[in-house]
Structure 1
């Protein structure tokens, strides 16, 4: 039986059912992906337009507020450079007939303005230092130490913020009289050295400091004072800067309490001194405005000096991240 070779015709390969099904599914999936990508781009574009519109509105509102708040400052600067006879000229004019820089020189000779500035600096610097010291200690106690009635005492202490200054000035004056502190620096400084505001501000900042840092200090044998000064205070330094600015401005601009407790002009601060620009023709408004401009320099300089800490300090003391 002879061997025969049988030629089998080649059969062209055909797609398997699974591959065909996969191909049919790929087309709708690709279209859906493209549609989703297009929708995402449209949404992103809409969000970007909305964000730009909100930014423009915010910038417009901020510009309006800046202009409104700058008008009194500009008017004060303009009045400080006018001749006295043109302060109340009609119609009102922003610029006088001449620029009188001499008004700024007259401020120092018309009244003992240098003494007022010195008194204000002494009271503000010492008062701020005392407020920061007491606030740091009390805030650490209310935020880190555990003792019975801690939260209740804190809320009672915080409640003193709702008592207006006008309610306590008369009892405080009688107390200063009994101590013999009337017409003295300590009468201007000590009564306001223990503030609930400073304690609350620093307590909120200290609550955001991780407990692990304090526990690490305790493992190294550090005392509470060392932990406070070496660990806690460096972390909350921006908030301390905020407290420094607010406290300095409050002491510097205080008028009611010095008016009550100070009768000796040698202890008068700047707000009291501004009341002494009184001449034969009435108040010397051009000199008052010049003195007011000069008196703004210390507070504005302090705010500019600590500007980089202010925003961070306010955010830290706002309770964000606090326990």
Structure 2
């Protein structure tokens, strides 16, 4: 079997596996264009007999969908920017500064990956409440800003940057801040792009922490709002499917915009997909 046949075979196998993840999304999108009767019809129809966009109109008109969407955009963008700033600084310090306890601190960062949010949620909530951030969008932005995964990715990538480049800059009189902002950050563009995608996705899809912190409906993020569409005795499936499709769009756009840097950043940081 020549290489061309092997490549085709691998593409077919990978495409088959990818369909396992893509088909549910396609089914949700198709179902969001169906009427209520057709969604529950048996046998189910693959394509809608009558395409309707009323589900999307109903979803946008119910409650404050636009407000929920704006809240999620604000949280995801602000939290991502804060995550990039904090994690890039921490990664730079752990990768390029040789100080006592460097490896211990890095180990502690990695060790926190094994601690689930549910274990530390109560003490974090108490601190948050004492700081006056309860029922505030900043209450769901600040606590998860410094992510151990982000620090790990950035630190591993920055270790590949030659120390000679930094030493040359120091000899020329560049300050540490100038080295960080003018040399380290531009060279770390691939991993920071990968972290941007991860962080935006984490914050956009986060449900548990916003559900605990936010109590006013006008401050709900879109994930909490979607959960509220599930009633005690009934579920508005039409609007629920439409809202889920709309909620996927920002994450998809971010990934499509940054995808060419994504694989490179992951590969050079040593993280396994």
Give yes or no for contact 1:111–1:276 (8 Å, CA) kept in 2. no
Give 1 or 2 for the bigger CA radius of gyration.
Answer: 1
Give yes or no for contact 1:205–1:317 (8 Å, CA) kept in 2. yes
Distance 1:281 1:312 in 2: 48
The structure-2 alpha-carbon separation of the partners of 1:50 and 1:97, relative to structure 1 and needing over 3 Å to count, comes to: closer
Instruction: From 211, 231, 235, give the equivalent of 1:283.
Output: 235
Distance 1:101 1:182 in 2: 37
Distance 1:94 1:113 in 2: 28
Distance 2:91 2:71 in 1: 29
Instruction: From 50, 56, 65, give the equivalent of 1:113.
Output: 65
Distance 1:123 1:228 in 2: 26
Distance 2:125 2:12 in 1: 48
Q: What's the CA shift for 1:121?
A: 0.5
Distance 2:230 2:167 in 1: 62
Instruction: From 214, 238, 241, give the equivalent of 2:190.
Output: 238
* Residue 6 (structure 1) aligns with: none
Runs ≥4 residues deviating over 4 A: 278-281
* Residue 309 (structure 1) aligns with: 261
Instruction: From 223, 247, 265, give the equivalent of 1:271.
Output: 223
Give yes or no for contact 1:84–1:284 (8 Å, CA) kept in 2. no
Q: What's the CA shift for 1:278?
A: 5.0
TM-score (norm 1): 0.81
Distance 1:128 1:87 in 2: 37
Q: Show CA shifts across 1:77-121 (max 9, x none).
A: 011011123222222222333111121111110121101100000
Instruction: From 22, 41, 56, give the equivalent of 1:70.
Output: 22
Give yes or no for contact 1:77–1:290 (8 Å, CA) kept in 2. yes
* Residue 210 (structure 1) aligns with: 162
* Residue 229 (structure 1) aligns with: 181
Instruction: Kindly tell me the number of residue pairs found equivalent between the two proteins.
Output: 271
Distance 1:83 1:286 in 2: 8
Q: Show CA shifts across 1:159-211 (max 9, x none).
A: 00111111111221122222221110111101101111111101111000111
Instruction: From 123, 126, 131, give the equivalent of 2:83.
Output: 131
Structure 1: gaps of 5 or more residues: 1-48
Distance 1:72 1:159 in 2: 35
> 49-58 vs 267-276, which deviates more?
49-58
The structure-2 alpha-carbon separation of the partners of 1:273 and 1:94, relative to structure 1 and needing over 3 Å to count, comes to: same
Distance 2:37 2:120 in 1: 42
Distance 2:138 2:80 in 1: 13
* Residue 201 (structure 1) aligns with: 153
* CA RMSD in angstroms, aligned pairs only: 1.6
Q: Show CA shifts across 1:279-301 (max 9, x none).
A: 79821111111111111111111
Give yes or no for contact 1:80–1:286 (8 Å, CA) kept in 2. yes
